[in-house]
Amino acid sequence: MSRFPAARNMVKRSLVDAICCHRVSEGKEQYLLRWKHDEPSQAILSWHDLEDLGSIADFLQIYVGNYVTSLKSGNSSLGVPVQVTSLKRKSPHDEGSTSRASSQDTTTSTSSISAQKLEVYNGILQRKAGDIYPVHPACPSPRMPRIDATTVPTPEMLAAAKAHLADGVKKARRFVRRQFLDQLLRIPGPPVTFVNDRNKETPSLSFTCIQDYVYGEGVSSADAVMLGCTKCRPDMGSDRGCEYTRRCDCLEYATPDFKSQGLSKEEQKAHYEAWQAGELDAAELPKRFPYRLDNDQRTGIKQYVLDGFYLESRNVLYECNPKCKCGPKCKNRLVQKGRTVPLEIFKTQQRGFGLRCPVNLRRGQYIDRYLGELITDHEADAREAFSGRDKASYLFWLDKFANDDGPPGSLRTNDCYVADGEKMGGPTRFINHSCDPNCRLFTVSYNKHDQKIYDLAFFALEDIPAGTELTFDYMDPEEGEAGQAVHEEMDEGTVAVDCLCGAKNCRGKLWM
């Protein structure tokens, strides 16, 4: 439950065109909105208190940032008004009608309109069902004159805004911060907190926290062909479910552990290649469950962590699924149960925002998933082209099982899906790069027959003390196999940026 008071009626996001200016009136910060209209010059303009702007807090944040930047640079104007409609990609999370409001959109009688009327320049606003929206007058009147909305903000408005300097947006900054903290409170599981003791900056509000992948256009799962293990039982392994690797059907495609057979490295390689070629009976090969029970002697805490065979080799983790007979308490279900550790987003010294854990992490301990909107390879290319090469990318290709040189029917890279975490995702979006990382990303599959959709999960590579920044290697080729959109060689037009990780083995450059 939110620790902030419930918001009052808010402006209807889909009908707002721009934030034009601000002022301080009777000690209150107010912001001038321009509403959508087929003819921009005839658009309604209206002043609003901060409490009205919760639905467009992300654009308020951009407006405030632009204003503060203009003050620091000594500009004499606020610049171009912040357009609400052009700063965010359309996504499944953009809800609400985009139709223009009119007097026919409400059942409020004419006699009651005046009671609900707000202060406006050239129109009437109404409150209904939690929304504030305009009613365009059929004809002008002396009390409601025609104003060319494209001439706003006027020089007088800009001068009034400048007169208050940074104090004119001080409350807006706190309002934006509250909106972000409120969003963090809605994330399920242990708390996700935020700390910034360096400046007043808040992470972008143009980001939606989600609990699972959001499927974009053209993306579908293979749940219809999901199969579970049939020979395992909930009471096996001291009531921990799956106990024998050869009986667990979910491990059918898991990488064999040839090292446990005492083979030389050359023999292990030969057996591995024979297994990949399908020349060995998978049912008879030695397998390992992904997780082992760890007993921390210092704290006495027992928990499942990633087995060293997987942590060091980057093999795919196959977990059991809802159709398995092993029961929900099976030891082969870890990532799917969700995050179990608290996380903290914080402002770093020189790399923007980062992520850390306020409690100690054990080597192999699961941290959280990387989430985002699942899109097609074609859509990912289009978004990259739209954003430009010099912009940070949050695209992770789910190409772990791709084989462009394989026989007909093999999964090709351009048929793989991509997780885009720029506009929606989870706390791991804030994990920074390091050439000497303490975390790594792993492929976690719950359906051995679905090679296109799987989870990307972060695990600790070492014991990580509480408060240490969490990092992973953006340019690790193996990370690329696990899903990250990276290239081992520079493409034409690729921008090289300085790496700021500070590690002793820092490569100096980070390719984007």
CA 212 vs CA 2, 322, 356, 435, 500: distances in Å = 21, 16, 21, 29, 31
Check if 370 is active-site.
Answer: yes
Q: Which of 370, 394, 417, 446 is catalytic?
A: 370
Lookup: tokens for 84: 């609400």
Q: Which residues pair with 376 in a beta bridge?
A: 417
Cβ 442 vs Cβ 317: under 8 Å: yes
Which of 459, 458, 383, 368 is CA-nearest to residue 420? 383
Check if 474 is active-site.
Answer: yes
Q: Which of 291, 304, 318, 474 is catalytic?
A: 474
Torsion angle defined by CA atoms of residues 300, 301, 305 and 307, in that order, rounded to the nearest 10 degrees? 20
- Size of the chain, expressed as the number of residues it contains: 512
Lookup: tokens for 71: 């003050």
Question: CA 114 to CA 252: how far, in whole Å?
Answer: 71
Cβ 18 vs Cβ 157: under 8 Å: no
DSSP percent split of the chain into helix, strand, coil, nearest 5: 25, 20, 50
CB contact set of 243 (below 8 Å; sequence gap of 6+): 232, 236, 237
- If DSSP states are collapsed to H, E and C, what string results for 75-87? CCCCCCCEECCCC
Could you say which DSSP state residue 119 is in?
-
- Where in the sequence numbering do the catalytic residues fall? 370, 474
